[in-house]
Structure 1
């Protein structure tokens, strides 16, 4: 009987700990501490520049730095075929 009570208490504590962790992750509730001010976003997604992938090395880079060659995109002139 003691073992059953021990296991029930252990299960209850684990469930309580998980619920507490989930509650903290979901954000502050009513009556909780005030949320920290959010930092302004660097750029609006509509203003973000398109990213391309280099055909040689696979690195992603801004479209403004594109070195096109043979219909493919390269991150620098060294990777573009001559």
Structure 2
């Protein structure tokens, strides 16, 4: 009976050991394993013509430091 108990403990230890290597647990920062790290937040701006919100990195800057979502909206200018 003690051999059966020892074998069971060894099997459970091996399952735990190999399951940990496949990403079965959680990542060090508490995220579930296999989940991608979320990207950093980017500042958002509104298009001066249509009001669409978009990342500042994707915006086209116009006169007066205004941001636009496209070259066409920059050409048309801001709406009142």
TM-score (norm 2): 0.44
Greater relative contact order, per chain length (Cα 8 Å cut-off, separation 6+):
2
Query: Which is richer in helix?
Result: 2
TM-score (norm 1): 0.43
